[in-house]
Amino acid sequence: MGGLSKFGSISESKEFLTVYKEASKWYCDCCTIFYKPSSEPKLAIVASKKVGKAVVRNRCKRLLRAVFNQIHNELEDGVYVVIVKAGLEQIPYLKIQKNISWALKKLGCLKQ
């Protein structure tokens, strides 16, 4: 990540499991977002092989990471797990950004 990211990462599967069980979630056209309040911001983006080959999966992750880094000042601290849906790479960036912002607003994790 090169130190430019505003989010920490999630590495242990135990932490993923607690987020999946305890977090609130919201579905949108391009992804599913899990949010669990926490003292430090963390972000994990998951793209399975159903999304496409490695190049496509990595592009999807980069797109979503860019959206989250762009709006990180507006977000409450917490753990965010984003599961990419197939076809994300064909959606225009602005539509992805609007979908994510709308989903985060519905989850209640945007600062007031």
What is the rounded CA–CA span in Å between residue 87 and residue 76? 28
Q: What is the dihedral of CA 43, 49, 53, 31, to 10 degrees?
A: -50
Domain of residue 46, residue span: 24-107
Q: In 1-112, which ranges are E strands?
A: 24-27, 31-37, 42-46, 78-84
What the block records as the tokens of 107 is: 């989850």
Q: Is residue 16 part of a domain?
A: no
Mean pLDDT per 10-residue run, the chain (112 residues)?
Answer: 67 90 94 94 95 96 94 92 95 95 92 78
pLDDT of residue 94: 96
- Over residues 45-75, the pLDDT tens digits come to 999 999 999 999 999 999 999 999 999 889 9
CATH, residue 52: 3.30.230.10
Q: Is residue 98 part of a domain?
A: yes
pLDDT of residue 5: 64
Cβ-based neighbours of 47, under 8 Å, separated by 6 or more: 57, 58, 60, 61, 83, 84
pLDDT of residue 24: 95
Domain count, the chain: 1
